[in-house]
Structures are given as structure tokens and as C-alpha cells.
């Protein structure tokens, strides 16, 4: 009998865990929120940037080799395009982006290289190049999208309903084109700027685990304590 009780408690615990994974984020009013801000820098000497040969459409894509966007380290060592996600289970309501995030294809590169948005947003995929591109997302939670975007189709709208990240985005016409989308279930996420900086506001006070992800450097989890109406400044590194 006792053994049975213990077993069912374990089963219930496992179920609670699963439910949380499925996105049991609890929305509430946040009146005394704190801010998490800081920098993510490269530890040690960063490797030299990789070069990409332009093998197609040089008149639009450019004739010179391109610098690969897979690891961009600024002058002060700050890493651009690091995804920062606070593992929050409750807080401000998630509002899908009122203005659709724009994801452009220009000189045969995706801009921005990492695009983060609230789940339920519609991404405006634009084509500034006026040549054939193709938007190909390799989603597993959301439906995978694969649409040609010729010159006469300046905008394609793609809705990303469910939280999922990272979603790799490719262009099948130009093999070097790559980007990542981040669709989040709560509003506590950021992508580092060119100097490695980020800022996430209105967090309910408490202790959090914060996930960092960079396509080449992988994932890292860091702790952060948030106090009411205060700014917690962090200096994190990746390598």
C-alpha cells in the first residue's frame, strides 16, 4: 500500500514536470518587477571569423567573400546574437508582437541573423534583393515552412504559433544563407546586440536560471537574482 502511494506520488511529480514543459506559464500583473541586464563576452581569444565564398548571383550577393555570421565577437569581446531566456514560470502576459517582426533578405543574407519574438507572432519575410530566395524553416514543434520568394513576391507572412527555439532558417537557393528564429512562451527573452549587451525588464522578484544559447558555442545556464524595482547587472562569458 505504502509502496503504491510512493509510486503514484512519483508519477504525479513526473506529470507536473511534463505539464510545465508543455508551457504552463502563469500570467499575472507585475508591479514591483526588477530588471536583468548585462553583457555576454567571449572568454579568451575568439577564433578568426570564417569566410564564405559567394558562388551564385554575385551581382546582387556581392563578389567578395562574406564573413560568416555564426560567431560575431565585437571589439570589447562582446558576443552578438546570443539568445538569453529567463526560465520564468510566471510573470507578465505574453502579447504577440503588435508590429510584425521583419525578417529581410538583403545581399543574400538574412537580417537579423537571430530573430526572437513572442509565440503567436506573424513574421514579415521581405526580399530586398529582388532575386529568387526561398524561406525554409526547419521547425519540429511548429509546421516547417518552405516557400519560394521570387522578385514579384516582396512579402511573405509566416505565423509561428507555438513556442520553439532555435528554429534554423535556410535559403535553398543560396546555401550559405542561415538564420535562427526564437519563438517564446513568455516575454522574458532577449538577443544580445553587437556589443554583447542585453536587457530584460519587469521580472517578478526571485531567483532564476537563465539560459544562454549561441549557435556555435552551445548552451549555458547561469543563475540570477532579481530584486523588486532594482537592476541586476551581470557579466557572463561563453567560449
The contact set with Cu ion (CB under 5 A) reads 133, 171, 173-174, 177
Residue 109 CB, shortest distance to Cu ion, in Å, is 9
Q: Taking the CB of residue 66, how many other CB atoms lie within 10 A of it?
A: 18
Let me know: does 182 contact 174? Beta carbons within 8 Å: no
Residue 129 CB, shortest distance to Cu ion, in Å, is 8
Rounded to a whole number of angstroms, the distance between the first and last alpha carbons of the chain is 52
As given in the structure block, the three cell numbers for residue 202 are 519587469
Pick the closer one to Cu ion by CB: 169 or 177. 177
Let me know: does 83 contact 182? Beta carbons within 8 Å: yes
Sign of torsion, CA 85 215 199 159?
negative
Residue facing Cu ion at closest CB distance: 171
Residue 223 CB, shortest distance to Cu ion, in Å, is 41
Pick the closer one to Cu ion by CB: 127 or 214. 127
d(CA 126, CA 115): 14
Residue 108 CB, shortest distance to Cu ion, in Å, is 5
Residue 213 CB, shortest distance to Cu ion, in Å, is 25
Residue 44 CB, shortest distance to Cu ion, in Å, is 34
d(CA 11, CA 5): 10
Strand partners, 91: 27
Pick the closer one to Cu ion by CB: 66 or 133. 133
Strand partners, 89: none
Pick the closer one to Cu ion by CB: 47 or 175. 175
Pick the closer one to Cu ion by CB: 4 or 63. 63
Pick the closer one to Cu ion by CB: 92 or 133. 133
As given in the structure block, the three cell numbers for residue 188 are 522574458
As given in the structure block, the three cell numbers for residue 102 are 521583419
Amino acid at each position: 500500500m505504502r509502496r503504491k502511494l510512493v509510486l503514484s506520488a512519483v508519477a504525479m511529480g513526473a506529470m507536473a514536470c511534463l505539464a510545465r514543459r508543455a508551457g504552463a506559464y502563469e500570467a499575472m500583473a507585475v508591479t514591483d518587477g526588477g530588471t536583468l541586464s548585462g553583457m555576454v563576452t567571449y572568454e579568451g581569444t575568439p577564433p578568426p571569423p570564417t569566410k564564405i565564398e559567394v558562388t551564385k548571383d554575385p551581382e546582387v550577393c556581392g563578389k567578395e567573400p562574406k564573413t560568416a555570421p555564426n560567431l560575431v565577437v565585437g571589439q570589447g569581446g562582446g558576443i552578438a546574437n546570443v539568445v538569453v531566456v529567463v526560465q520564468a514560470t510566471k510573470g507578465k502576459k505574453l502579447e504577440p508582437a503588435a508590429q510584425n517582426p521583419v525578417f529581410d533578405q538583403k545581399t543574400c543574407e538574412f537580417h537579423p541573423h537571430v530573430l526572437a519574438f513572442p509565440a503567436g507572432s506573424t513574421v514579415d519575410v521581405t526580399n530586398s534583393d529582388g532575386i529568387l530566395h526561398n524561406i525554409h524553416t526547419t521547425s519540429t514543434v511548429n509546421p516547417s515552412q518552405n516557400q519560394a520568394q521570387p522578385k514579384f513576391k516582396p512579402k511573405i507572412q509566416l505565423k509561428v504559433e507555438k513556442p520553439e527555439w532555435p528554429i534554423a532558417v535556410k535559403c535553398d537557393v543560396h546555401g550559405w544563407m542561415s538564420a535562427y528564429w526564437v519563438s517564446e512562451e513568455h516575454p522574458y527573452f532577449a538577443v544580445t546586440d553587437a556589443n554583447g549587451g542585453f536587457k530584460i525588464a519587469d521580472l517578478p522578484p526571485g531567483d532564476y536560471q537563465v539560459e544562454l544559447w549561441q549557435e556555435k558555442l552551445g548552451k549555458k545556464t547561469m543563475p540570477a537574482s532579481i530584486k523588486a524595482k532594482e537592476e541586476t547587472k551581470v557579466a557572463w562569458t561563453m567560449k
